[in-house]
């Protein structure tokens, strides 16, 4: 059995690309309070009070308790490890079954049978069909599901969700279309799509939003000024594309994609 359950955070960096695969995110429901119940870390009445709070307040309350009480802090840390151990043990998890661990979320490369452990319940939160590891970012894509629409769903780990949303309709749209081509298109169509997009990108024929740097800062840089912009409206030129620095996404996103696919 794998001993990866010992890690609060893990990513198999040997995998940079998965296509038409089974990737399931198993998430521990109400992780903090369910662990407190299962491992008797707090009195039942106190757990009930915390459970009634909004999610954000629950997290803050548990954080304050950990800062005040080292015994509780260590107990909760050990509980996270032990519940992952039970999940791994019962489902006979091997290293090759795990793509990623985010504390109370386990990204498995196969479906598991056992998800309930006393007061603790792992839910199938998300399922994905493809994956890309790029520039320290994890791109998870799901092409299937009635509620997803034609473009599918894209989740990105390594950047705050609010920041990722700035790329909607732009680079996020590119990634969705790319994954769709990779999953269903011929080799020729994949590379034709990528070539056309890169040609447009290099010749500044795309909307300004495509040139927003795909990282945690997600700013727009200019070639002739040290000023950076979050909102393209404030770029002080009529023909904005002519002044935009396109280097970041070209060298850190597009060229690495080409290398991975080739």
What is this structure's pTM?
A: 0.93
Which residues are bridge partners to 116 per DSSP? 121
Examine the pLDDT at 146 and tell me if it is beyond 70. Answer: no
Continuous segment of H or E residues that includes residue 157 = strand 153-157
Q: What is the pLDDT of residue 237?
A: 87
Instruction: Provide mean pLDDT across the span 140-158.
Output: 82
Residue 260: strand, helix, or coil: helix
pLDDT tens digit sequence for 89-106: 999 999 999 999 999 999
> What is the dihedral angle through the alpha carbons of 76, 81, 83, 84, rounded to the nearest 10 degrees?
150
Rounded to an integer, the average pLDDT of 230-255 is 94
- Residue 214's closest CA among 132, 151, 150? 132
- Nearest Cα residue to 124 out of 30, 25, 28: 25
Contact 35, 79 (CB under 8 A): yes
Q: Which of 97, 160, 137 is nearest to 248 (CA)?
A: 137
For 249, the enclosing helix (H) or strand (E) is helix 247-249
**What's CA 95's distance to the chain center, in Å?**
20
3-state helix, strand, coil split of the chain in percent (to 5) is: 45, 20, 35
Banded model confidence at residue 1, pLDDT cuts 50, 70, 90:
confident
> pLDDT tens digits, residue range 167-196?
999 999 999 999 999 999 898 999 999 999
Model pLDDT, residue 151: 79
Tell me the C-alpha distance between 54 and 46, whole Å. Answer: 15
Q: Is 3 exposed, middle or buried (0-12, 13-18, 19+ CB in 10 A)?
A: exposed
Average pLDDT over residues 10-34: 96
Distance CA(95)–CA(200), nearest Å, equals: 41
> How many residues in total does the chain contain?
262
With 60 as the cut, is the pLDDT of residue 147 above it? no
Percent of the chain with pLDDT over 70: 98
Confidence of residue 80 (pLDDT cuts 50, 70, 90): very high
Tell me the pLDDT band of 111, cut-offs 50, 70 and 90.
very high
- Residue 6: partners with Cβ closer than 8 Å, 6 or more residues away: 81, 84, 85
Region of 136 (left: φ > 0; alpha: ψ -120 to 50; beta: rest) is: left
- Averaged pLDDT of the chain: 94
Q: Which residues contact 68 (CB under 8 A, 6 or more apart)?
A: none
For residue 56, give the 3-state DSSP assignment. Answer: helix
- Residue 21's pLDDT band (cuts 50, 70, 90): very high
- For CA atoms 40, 46, 48, 54, give the dihedral sign: negative
More confident residue, 40 or 144: 40
């Amino acid at each position: 059995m794998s001993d990866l359950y010992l890690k609060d955070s893990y990513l198999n960096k040997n995998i940079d690309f998965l296509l038409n695969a089974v990737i399931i995110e198993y998430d521990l429901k109400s992780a903090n309070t369910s662990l407190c119940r299962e491992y008797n870390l707090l009195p039942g009445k106190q757990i009930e009070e915390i459970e009634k709070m909004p999610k954000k307040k629950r997290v803050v309350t548990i954080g304050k308790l950990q800062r005040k009480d080292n015994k509780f802090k260590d107990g909760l840390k050990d509980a996270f490890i032990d519940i992952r151990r039970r999940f791994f043990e019962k489902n006979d998890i091997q290293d090759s079954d795990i793509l990623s661990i985010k504390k109370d979320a386990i990204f498995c490369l196969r479906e598991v049978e056992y998800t309930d452990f006393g007061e603790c319940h792992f839910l199938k939160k998300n399922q994905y069909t493809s994956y890309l590891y790029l520039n320290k970012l994890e791109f998870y894509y799901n092409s299937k599901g009635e509620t997803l629409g034609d473009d599918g769903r894209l989740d990105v780990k390594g950047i705050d969700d609010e920041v990722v949303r700035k790329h909607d309709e732009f680079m996020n749209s590119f990634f969705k279309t790319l994954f769709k081509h990779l999953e269903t298109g011929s080799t020729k169509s994949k590379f034709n799509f990528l070539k056309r997009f890169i040609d447009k990108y290099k010749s500044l024929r795309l909307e300004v939003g495509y040139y927003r740097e795909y990282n945690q800062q997600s700013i727009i840089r200019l070639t002739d000024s040290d000023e950076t912009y979050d909102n393209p409206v404030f770029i002080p030129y009529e023909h904005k594309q002519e002044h935009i620095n396109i280097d970041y996404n070209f060298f850190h996103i597009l060229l690495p994609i080409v290398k991975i696919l080739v």
